[in-house]
Each structure stands twice: as C-alpha cells, then as structure tokens.
Structure 1
Amino acid sequence: MVILAFDGVQLLDVAGPAEVFTTANRFGADYDVRVISGTGADVVTSSGVRIGAGTAPAGLPRRLGTLIVPGRSDWPAAIRDEVTMAAVTGLAPRARRVASVCAGAFLLAEAGLLDGRRATTHWQLAGDLARAYPKVRVDSDPVFMKDGRVLTSAGVTAGIDLSLALVEDDHGAEPAREVARQLVVFMARPAGQSQFSARLSVRDAEHPVLRAAMDAVTGDPAADHATERLASRTGVSPRHLTRLFRAHTGLSPGRYVESIRVEAAQVLLEGGSGSVEQVAAESGFGSSETMRRVFQQHLGVSPTTYRARFRSTGRAASRSAEQSDAEHPRA
C-alpha cells in the first residue's frame, strides 16, 4: 500500500487513507502502508504540516498492491512536478490497482492512466479535468468510482470512503465496518452517491419564482409537484418555469423534484425505520417499484441495497440486498 506524497499535497488526502488501512490491520488486515515521495525527502503539505516520507520509489518492492495518488488544489503545479510525475508513471504499472484522491486524478490523467476511462474528482475541478484531458470521461457527481483497476474519488473526505471500499474488497464487510466504527465515520457512502445536495441548491436560488418553487418541493417532497401545478402556484407558465430551472440548476422541474425525493428517501432509509413501501410513500414516489427504478438511475443501487450499505461498506451487503430484491422485487 503506497501513498505518494509531494509538496503542496492536501494533508487529509494522505492521512485519511493511511488511517483507514493502518486501522484495518487491527481487525485482521495486513497492509504494509508506506508514505513515500519522489525523492524520498520529507514534504510540506498545503496546510504547512510536514510529512516524513519513508523512502523513494527505488526503495519499494517490485510488485505493489495499491498505489494511492493524492492531490493538491494547484493541480497545474502538481503535473509540472517532473519528479512526482515520474513516480506516478513508474509505479503505476507495478501496482495491482491505482487510486486517486480529489485532484490526484489530474496526475493520473497526465500519466495517461485515465484515457478512455470514467473518472471523478472534486466537483469544482471536474470541468478543468474534462477540458485538460478530453480522452477522460469525467463524471462530476459520484463520491468515487472504479473503472477497471483504476479508481478515482471526489473531495478529500471521499478518499476515506474509497479506502473503506478497498478494505472491504480485500477483507470483507466486517473488518471494513469495524474500521468505520473505530474512525467514527459513515459505514457507507455508495460509490454512485452524489457529491451534491439538491436540497442545498435552494439556498443559491436568487430568482424569487424559482426559490418559491424549490421551497415548495423541499418542504413537502410527497406533494403533487407536477410542472403545471408548480407553475400555477408560482404564477408563471410551465414553459417559463422550466426555463428558470434549466438556467439556474441545469435540471428540469421534474428532474429536480425527483432528486429531492431521492434525498428524502435516503434520509428515511438511513434512519432504518419503516418498510421500503412506507419510505416510498413518505418521500413522494408512490410505490416501491417506482422508487427502486429511480434509485437505480440516480445511485446505481436499489433502495434495499442502499439501506444495507449503511450497515456495511458495500459488496457483502449489496449481495445480500440484491438477493432479497430478486426474491421480493416489490418489497
């Protein structure tokens, strides 16, 4: 387990994964976690904290399990660092899997490791990544994603989510769950979970008509929020309301309502009370089958799987939940 550090790196990009993997060793894992730098010298993080690098790439074994590449907010400076880039390009072929945290995706892209792959990064940097590396299929929404042996993650804390998922891949759900408990973090944010909150976007809505419509939806997700009804309540035509939503949120009114209902259902499922059918009714979906279809579209998992993942970090719970879904498709 190699974490590549360099001057200007974000401290939590390095410390978060390191804590996950070293903590996992207390619960049956056997990770040899090494923080290195391109030269083997100490590095100074973006917060001014000095990190002691144990070695340079030449001091590592020939074969590596995982290479984690963190990021720095000034990503152009990171990719211009010839020593660091040489470490990435030299170590990546030797690793069974390669992962980036936040702006570390730019270093992977610069090395050609993301060409033709789906990748994510911090939402504020996604546009930069797409423009700078057109061969990369950038998705700004997920917390983390996997494409082949390469994984990428969003903002700094998403590196913890990614690391927990890797622990589960390697050692199963129970050790990963124990690590999450020890570190007092959520036991699961699914890979497909969005970086964004549709509920919070109402705070940025400056147009009074749009804000009134968004307030109505967030205030009662289960109400009738057909575009025609929303338009009537806010005193504009459906066409004008649709233009406002698209101009200010990038979504149609219907898509915004759907996003709010997904978030409302997530909260209810995370709470663990009530059946899936009850959650569907309270969040405005009407039926569990409708909610199941929308969850698959938005999150890539079913509601039952989503609920199970808050008792685990991913695969083991997913298999159990998917089996339940297959046996009880409308449960």
Structure 2
Amino acid sequence: MSHIAFLLVPGLHLLDLAGPAQVFSTTADFGDPYTLSYIAEQALIPTAQGLPLVARLDWPELGPEDLILVPGWRALALATSPVIGAASLQFLRDHHARGGTVASVCAGAEALGRAGLLDGRRCTTHHDLQDELARRYPRAVVIRDVLYTADDRVVTSAGIASGIDLALHLIATRHGPAVAAQVARNMVVYARRNGHEPQDSAMLRYRSHLDDTVHRAQDLLDASFDQPLPLPALAAAVGVSERTLTRLFTRATGGLTPLRYQQTLRLERAQHLISHGATVDAAARAVGFEDPRMLRRLRAREI
C-alpha cells in the first residue's frame, strides 16, 4: 500500500487538491489501495473557494514508495505566497532524499522551490506564474506550456485541472497505462497527453473518448493483445454486432479498426523488446505474431 500525503497551504484551490485525490481514491476502488492523508501547519485551512478544510498537524510515517503532493493556492505572485514553515520544507527535502517522490500542482511548485528541490530539475507551473518561477529559482529548468514534468522523482504540473493529468501519469507509471485509462474512464475525463513527455502506450493514446462499448473492447484487447481475439468474439463479448463495433471503434479512435488497434499494441510492445536486445523473430513471437514478417512489415510502415 502506498501513502499519498497532501501538504495543505492556506488559500489552496479545491480542484488542485480534489483532482489528484480523486484519481488516487478511484485507483484504490479498482484494487490498488492508497492511503490519503492531509497535513497542514494549522488545523483549519481556508481555501480559495471559501470552503474550510480540517487537516492533521503531524506527518505520517512515509517510505520511498510514498508521495507528498502540494496543491496550489490562489496567488497573483509567487513572492506573496503563504508562509510555509521550515519544518515542512525540511520534511519535503528529507522525503525526497530517502527515495520518495514529491509533486506539486500549480503554485505548489513554489513550495518545492523553497525546499531546494527544483534546482537543476525540469519543472512547470501555471502559465501566469512560469516567468516568475524561473526568476525566483534560476537553477530550475522551467518548461513552459506543458501539462506536467517529471524529473528525478520531482513531478510538477501546470494550473489547477492539470493535477488530474499529473496523477494519471503517476498511476500509469506505477500500475501501467491500462489502469490509468480505466481510472480516467471512471472519472469521465480524457487520459490526456503531455506533448513534451513521451507517452509509453497506445493504451492511453486512443482512450480520449467516452464511448463505453469501445472502452470495453479496448479493455479486452489491452489485457490480451498477444492472444488471438477475432472480431466476432470481440463483438459478442461487448454485446454488439461486428459491423457496429467496427463503426464505433473507428469513430472513437480516429480511424483504427479493432485489428489495427491490436496490431498497434503488439508493435509497441515488440519495439520495446527489440530495444532491450530481443531479436525481431523473438519479439514477434512474444507479442503474438505467428509470422515475423508481419512485424517487419508493420515496423517498416511505421518508419
């Protein structure tokens, strides 16, 4: 079980907190348990939206597999951000030094900067605050106009709703893109991509739609892409005709048929195996191609 500890600062934005918290809570509903804690330097935390929050004053025991996340707050300028005590900043530094991950949403990057955790690392924040973040922490590498960055267990995201993207990225890293896609689907949000961060799987790339029938078909293909799954069997499993499934699938994925989607998954996995030393023939067998020539043709077509 992993622990997610949120450091709450007065004036925080509710969505900066609630978005990531919902992602981890939903992941727990699917069998990957998380414990969520809310810590602050005062028991009652006012929020930017007027709803006060009750927090604990002591830090839980955290290990290297755990995460501290700092939601952002309303700030016209980072220089006028709320005071964050030396003990909290030291806890952030110590957790990272012990192998743990720290993260921020929006103005929360200021807390990581004060803790010295942005020095020499890529980071981002809300577009209105990017220039000031770069001025305040000249040793940080501020990446502008991206949803999130990840650098040496320091993960930062842009404004407000991007905290959901950050959390989905962490879930995909820990549990695989299929789990992240399932969580995004349950939350009725797009499993969005960050243009400056490489995406590891088509399981997320073609999930930015709200068609439940297609999602169920993709769930089956994601789980068994290396096994034969003929269109009649796939259509029967999701309760529609072959023609309907093909039409819905093509529309939802921007032109892919179920077979082409399965081939894309196989190709992606094969490319990974080849990059780690497998031969083309061995990779083809591992991902379910009976004839290695099919893999060669797909690779040539991609190139």
Which range, TM-score by smaller chain?
A: 0.5 to 0.7
For the residues of structure 2 that align with 1:15 and 1:317, how far apart are their CA atoms? 36
* 1:168 corresponding residue in structure 2: 172
Given residue 3 of structure 1, which amino acid in structure 2 is its aligned partner?
F
1:244-303 per-residue CA deviation (whole Å, 9 max, x = no partner) reads xxxxxxxxxxxxxxxxxxxxxxxxx9952347xxxxxxxxxxxxxxxxxxxxxxxxxxxx
* 2:39 corresponding residue in structure 1: 36
- Correspondent of 1:125 among 124, 129, 148: 129
Match status 1:140 vs 2:144: yes
- Tell me if the contact between 2:5 and 2:69 (Cα under 8 Å) persists in the aligned partners: yes
For the residues of structure 2 that align with 1:150 and 1:318, how far apart are their CA atoms? 31
Counterparts of 1:29-68 in structure 2, within 5 Å, are: 29-39=32-42, 41-53=43-55, 55-56=56-57, 58-63=58-63, 65-68=66-69
* 1:190 corresponding residue in structure 2: 194
Q: 1:169: Cα distance to partner?
A: 1.5
For the residues of structure 1 that align with 2:171 and 2:16, how far apart are their CA atoms? 17
Given residue 69 of structure 1, which amino acid in structure 2 is its aligned partner?
V
For the residues of structure 1 that align with 2:105 and 2:20, how far apart are their CA atoms? 9
Q: 1:329: Cα distance to partner?
A: 4.6
- Tell me if the contact between 1:67 and 1:92 (Cα under 8 Å) persists in the aligned partners: no
Q: 1:43: Cα distance to partner?
A: 0.5
- Tell me if the contact between 1:7 and 1:43 (Cα under 8 Å) persists in the aligned partners: yes
For the residues of structure 2 that align with 1:328 and 1:31, how far apart are their CA atoms? 39
1:98 aligns to what SS in structure 2? strand
2:185 aligns to what SS in structure 1? helix
Match status 1:19 vs 2:25: no
2:131 aligns to what SS in structure 1? helix
Q: 1:320: Cα distance to partner?
A: 3.5
* 1:107 corresponding residue in structure 2: 111
* 1:6 corresponding residue in structure 2: 9
Bigger helix fraction: 1
- Tell me if the contact between 2:124 and 2:149 (Cα under 8 Å) persists in the aligned partners: yes
1:46-96 per-residue CA deviation (whole Å, 9 max, x = no partner) reads 11111121x22x341153600001112323233x5143x531332342251
- Correspondent of 1:273 among 249, 254, 275: 254
Q: 1:325: Cα distance to partner?
A: 10
1:150-189 per-residue CA deviation (whole Å, 9 max, x = no partner) reads 0111111110001011112122223222211111000232
Given residue 135 of structure 1, which amino acid in structure 2 is its aligned partner?
R
1:104 aligns to what SS in structure 2? helix
Question: Could you list the runs of 5+ residues in structure 2 that have no partner in the other structure?
Answer: 198-249, 273-294
Residues 158 and 191 (structure 1), Cα distance of their counterparts in 2 relative to 1, 3 Å cut: farther
- Tell me if the contact between 1:115 and 1:135 (Cα under 8 Å) persists in the aligned partners: yes
Aligned length: 214
Q: 1:190: Cα distance to partner?
A: 3.0
TM-score, structure 1 as length reference: 0.58
- Tell me if the contact between 1:145 and 1:191 (Cα under 8 Å) persists in the aligned partners: no
1:100 aligns to what SS in structure 2? strand
For the residues of structure 2 that align with 1:273 and 1:33, how far apart are their CA atoms? 37
* 2:157 corresponding residue in structure 1: 153
CA RMSD in angstroms comes to: 3.0
Q: Which contiguous aligned blocks of 4+ residues in structure 1 show a shift greater than 3 angstroms?
A: 316-327
Given residue 160 of structure 1, which amino acid in structure 2 is its aligned partner?
I
* 2:207 corresponding residue in structure 1: none
* 1:89 corresponding residue in structure 2: 90
For the residues of structure 1 that align with 2:120 and 2:252, how far apart are their CA atoms? 39
Counterparts of 1:257-272 in structure 2, within 5 Å, are: 272=253
Question: Could you list the runs of 5+ residues in structure 1 that have no partner in the other structure?
Answer: 194-268, 276-303, 309-315
For the residues of structure 2 that align with 1:25 and 1:274, how far apart are their CA atoms? 33
Q: 1:8: Cα distance to partner?
A: 0.5
Q: 1:6: Cα distance to partner?
A: 1.6
For the residues of structure 2 that align with 1:161 and 1:108, how far apart are their CA atoms? 19
